[in-house]
Structure 1
Amino acid sequence: MQKLQLEHPFLVAQDLSAIGSLSLNVANPILAAFGLPLAILPTSLLSTQTEGFETPAKLLTDGWLDSTFKHWQQQNIQFSGALIGYLGTEELVTQMSNYLSGQHSPLVILDPVMADQSEAYPGIPKRYSVAMKTMLQNADIIVPNTTEAQLLTGITIGEKPSENEQMMLLKSLEQLMPKDAHAIITDVRDDKQTGCVWLEAGKLKYYRCPIIDGHFFGSGDVFAALLAGFILHEETLGSAITMAVDGTYETLKYTADAETELRFGLNISTLLGEISHYAQTGQFK
């Protein structure tokens, strides 16, 4: 297998938590295990993640981001793509959106981290989804959960959405994005399985794994990083989604079996070995 070689670094913009295996703390090692050159952009510094530890100490990096973007532009630093995760303020969303608009990156994957299970995450402003909606114009792939998809489109669906409702959500999301962009809803479930739904040739495609009991902080971060890594290794969208769901499921299972306290995030040690094997051989699992 010919090793992947990117001409420019891949940009990862997410929050950095001092405690907790999630966000940049999982995206960075996962993408590094794929053999990718990275540029790391912490959008905020947190003493802990925003759930499970009451209100964390938080330092926004918007002033530093301005200086960083100017320095990169002065040095003509370009990127092979970007993975954008938790931003947390409307100002940071606008700042990141403006930067991406001037970059014309060949691949932008956006995880619009703002809500789940019909509720906004702690500290998310009421009009945050309005600002986030503008970022869809710069995204080639978005990976919202069902709650985030509804907030971005203004469409309300039932607790057990029909195929028609899922189709409507996906089409509405993709209408907000550039031509040939893709939306993937990441938490479609039935009684025993959960996974993703997306559109291929105008038809719904599903891939699911068994449900594991518990609320696993950082599972979306793992999925998004895996998806980015597989796509950068030139997997098809369907193959990348399938492997990313499988890798996330195995990570959740490993974390649950290890009886890790879930608010501290995920144990990705086994996953990193699997990714390194894939990067060398092209075989995952």
Structure 2
Amino acid sequence: MKKIAVLNDLSGMGKCSLTAAIPVISVMGVQACPLPTAILSAQTGFPSYYCDDYTDRMDILMDEWQKMDFHPDGIYTGFLADAAQADKAVDFIQRFKKKETKVLVDPVMGDDGEEYPIYTEELCEKMRMLVREAAVITPNITEALLLLYGREKMHTEWQKISGFSGEELLKYVQTIGSLLTEKFDVEAVITGISHEEDGAKYISNLICKKAAQTWVTTKKEGGSYSGTGDLFASILSAGMVKGTDTAASVQKAVNFLAKGIHDAVEEGTDRNEGICFETYLYELADVK
């Protein structure tokens, strides 16, 4: 069975990070091998939570895996709390990545034109190092701009695009996608692009390769929910090690998330609790 090493935190509440990645990767027929970066009582969107930082224990876990001659088919990095953790992720890739290892990096740094409290320019530079090791990256627009330009110019660019029409925004994202693929020599999936067309609201994702760009779009329902990015990236990482085309994986992720979001809206689920995805996990499995 193929294996993916997943570097992310474990949050008891919130259906994100490892609690999202493990069931998704597993049901898709790939073994998820978690390397926790922190243990939290609940994800950080909740008003109160406890966090046990694992940065100083990540080396110990990596050393033990090396003793076992561990060779993952894929490596997936998600939320990293600071530059020190990002440095550990870089070290992990340098230790365990082989020529055939598929790396997916979700460069979690911000959203909606604002960087997260964890953001520093040092963290961003480490993320750029990770991105250069990846086969696929999954930034939102904010994170794409941070990777390209850093914090100051990201804010300048965000002010510029805030008044764009839907069509103007999509064209702008295509330009950003081309810049990402050229600068980092990577396949980029720019996620969660919210726009309107003829009065209807949509969410789009742009798949950017050097020779082509592909849009995958669905109607928008509800707001922002914890863990949707983790679920999305997990589906892509499992598909990647199985040789699935990225566009097919993105479409599968979009269909899967749409159903879980719909149920969360119907139930009135708080955004911090995440979406109702468990019922639809079976749809991710390959039927033989």
Task: Say whether the fold is shared (TM-score over 0.5).
Answer: yes
Instruction: Report the TM-score when normalising by structure 2.
Output: 0.87
Of 174, 179, 187, 1:172 maps to 179
Which moved further from structure 2: 212-221 or 192-201? Answer: 192-201
Q: Contact 1:226–1:244 (CA<8 Å) still a contact in 2?
A: yes
C-alpha separation in 1, matches of 2:252 and 2:34: 24
Show structure 1 runs of 4+ deviating over 6 A: none
Q: Shift of the alpha carbon at 1:200?
A: 4.4
Residue 127 of structure 2 aligns with which residue?
A: 132
Residue 241 of structure 2 aligns with which residue?
A: 232
Q: Deviations over 1:46-76 (max 9, x none)?
A: 121111324x322211121111111212221
Higher helix residue share: 2
Report the secondary structure of 1:190's partner residue: strand
Which moved further from structure 2: 259-268 or 111-120? Answer: 259-268
C-alpha separation in 2, matches of 1:30 and 1:115: 24
Q: Contact 2:11–2:17 (CA<8 Å) still a contact in 1?
A: yes
Of 193, 206, 219, 1:188 maps to 193
Residue 29 of structure 2 aligns with which residue?
A: 35
Q: Are 2:219 and 1:210 aligned?
A: yes
Code of the residue aligned with 1:233 in structure 2: it is K
Gaps of 5+ in 1: none
Q: Are 2:121 and 1:95 aligned?
A: no
C-alpha separation in 2, matches of 1:173 and 1:45: 32
Of 5, 11, 22, 2:5 maps to 11
C-alpha separation in 2, matches of 1:49 and 1:240: 26
Q: Deviations over 1:207-266 (max 9, x none)?
A: 111111222111101111112223333221211111111111222112222222221112
C-alpha separation in 1, matches of 2:283 and 2:230: 17
Q: Shift of the alpha carbon at 1:201?
A: 5.6
Gaps of 5+ in 2: none
Residue 152 of structure 1 aligns with which residue?
A: 147
C-alpha separation in 1, matches of 2:235 and 2:175: 26
Q: Contact 1:136–1:176 (CA<8 Å) still a contact in 2?
A: no
Mark the CA change 1:63 to 1:25 in structure 2 (over 3 Å): closer, same or farther: same
Code of the residue aligned with 2:227 in structure 1: it is G
Mark the CA change 1:175 to 1:200 in structure 2 (over 3 Å): closer, same or farther: closer
Report the secondary structure of 1:271's partner residue: helix
Which moved further from structure 2: 205-214 or 255-264? Answer: 255-264
Computed over aligned residues only, the root mean square deviation of the Cα atoms, in angstroms, reads 1.9
Q: Contact 2:4–2:74 (CA<8 Å) still a contact in 1?
A: yes
Which moved further from structure 2: 181-190 or 24-33? Answer: 181-190
Which moved further from structure 2: 244-253 or 122-131? Answer: 122-131
Q: Are 2:33 and 1:24 aligned?
A: no
Code of the residue aligned with 1:10 in structure 2: it is I
C-alpha separation in 2, matches of 1:167 and 1:202: 12
Q: Are 2:104 and 1:115 aligned?
A: no
Which moved further from structure 2: 121-130 or 259-268? Answer: 121-130
C-alpha separation in 1, matches of 2:256 and 2:233: 11
C-alpha separation in 1, matches of 2:225 and 2:107: 18
Residue 230 of structure 2 aligns with which residue?
A: 221
C-alpha separation in 2, matches of 1:176 and 1:44: 31
Of 34, 38, 59, 2:52 maps to 59
C-alpha separation in 2, matches of 1:36 and 1:69: 20
Code of the residue aligned with 2:12 in structure 1: it is A
C-alpha separation in 2, matches of 1:203 and 1:141: 15
Q: Contact 2:144–2:190 (CA<8 Å) still a contact in 1?
A: yes
Q: Shift of the alpha carbon at 1:126?
A: 5.2
Matched length: 270
Residue 70 of structure 1 aligns with which residue?
A: 63
Instruction: Report the TM-score when normalising by structure 1.
Output: 0.88
Report the secondary structure of 1:15's partner residue: strand
Residue 245 of structure 1 aligns with which residue?
A: 254
